Amino acid sequence: MHMLKLDRIDVRILALLQEHGRMSNLELAEAIGLSPAQCSRRHHRLEEGGVIARYEARLRPAALGLHVTAFVHIGMERGHMRDLKLFRQTLAGMPEVLECHSVTGDVDYVLKVIARDLDGLNVFLTERLVALPGVNFVKSSVCLEEIKPRSGLPLPE
């Protein structure tokens, strides 16, 4: 992918959109000090260039009855390379899995998982996750407190 060259105005637009994704073009233009037309062109260029991937609403899990977050480490059985595509597709379809990362080290995958309660997490881990093809072991750590929630990416200065 081609990287767009970003100037300080582009960076300011990105910073504002990361913090206030629902800003109108007029509000954004006023905050940056550009005309609405100039701001719109730059904003569109950032979208078309793939710098802005998507827009989304950030929901509060507790407001939806989701009270347990866990980080799950998965070790795969060796020799099950043929099952990796099915494993990844199945994980992608599980709504409890918020994030999935293939990692280096003692485990093969790290997941961020959400559940209503500890019983729900237990059912997810013992009945669904360990039953996936090629899974050798699963270790989990329950989050006690979220100290720094997901935030925007660090932007160039």
Query: What domains sit in the chain, N to C, each tagged with a CATH number?
Result: 8-48 (1.10.10.10), 61-142 (3.30.70.920)
> Mean pLDDT, to the nearest integer, of 128-142?
94
pLDDT class for 150, splitting at 50, 70, 90?
confident
- Position 79 scores a pLDDT of 75
Please report which helix (H) or strand (E) contains residue 46, including its range: helix 36-48
Cα–Cα distance for residue pair 71/116, rounded to 1 Å: 15
Q: ∠120-94-52 over CA atoms, to 5°? A: 125
- Position 20 scores a pLDDT of 92
> Mean pLDDT, to the nearest integer, of 15-40?
96
Using one digit for the tens of pLDDT, what is the confidence trace for 64-119? Answer: 999 999 999 999 988 766 778 889 999 999 999 999 999 999 999 999 999 999 99
Report which DSSP code applies to 131. Answer: T
pLDDT class for 1, splitting at 50, 70, 90?
low
pTM over 0.85: yes
What residues have CB less than 8 Å from 45, skipping those under 6 apart?
4
What's the distance, CA 41 to chain centroid? 27
The answer to whether the beta carbons of residues 81 and 75 sit under 8 Å apart is no
